[in-house]
Structure 1
Amino acid sequence: MGCVQTFIIFSAAALMAYVTGQNSTLAIGCAIAFVIARVFYSVFYILDIPLGRSLMFAIGSLSSGTLFVLSLSSVSG
């Protein structure tokens, strides 16, 4: 269920980045980092490694947040 909840936030951030024309290396890297982090989150969840799981959650959240910030900065500036 956690993957579905975080995907909703990421999809909104990615859609905002697409609509605002964010095609920078940072935006692309954040999108890729989110997907990789979610894959590793699942692996760490299965292996029961809480620190790894927390780090992957943080990377995924930071990636989505960065996409939101990039989108909002291009609209306001």
Structure 2
Amino acid sequence: MSIEERTRLAIIGEELEDEIMSKATALRDLADSMVEQTGAVDEKQLRPLIDEIGELKTQYRAVLGGVVRSNAP
């Protein structure tokens, strides 16, 4: 794999990391807000964010796998 391709994958990986962290922060904030308001967490409201984070993590693993394979001897 060319240096340009590895660089492109690394940039995509960093963007995915940032998006995962942003969604995780939003999830935590939403859960904290629910607990403050009702004393409990409503999983139905959290599930879409949890699923989004799962999708992003799958994409991240695929990108990371491409970078790792490209560095193999």
Q: TM-score range by the shorter chain?
A: 0.5 to 0.7
* Equivalent-residue separation in structure 2 for 1:59 and 1:39 (angstroms): 13
Structure 2: any 5+ residue segments left out of the alignment? 28-48
Matched with 1:50 is 50
* Greater Cα radius of gyration, structure 1 or 2: 2
How far did residue 43 of structure 1 move? 1.3
Structure 1: any 5+ residue segments left out of the alignment? 1-20
Residue 60 of structure 2 is aligned to residue 60 of structure 1: yes
| Amino acid in structure 1 at the alignment position of 2:19 | F
1:30 and 1:66 in contact (8 A); partners too: yes
Runs of 4+ residues over 4 Å off in structure 1: none
Superposed CA RMSD in Å reads 1.8
Q: With CA pairs under 8 Å and 6+ residues apart, which has the higher RCO, 1 or 2?
A: 2
Give the TM-score normalised by the residue count of structure 1: 0.56
Number of matched residues?
Answer: 52
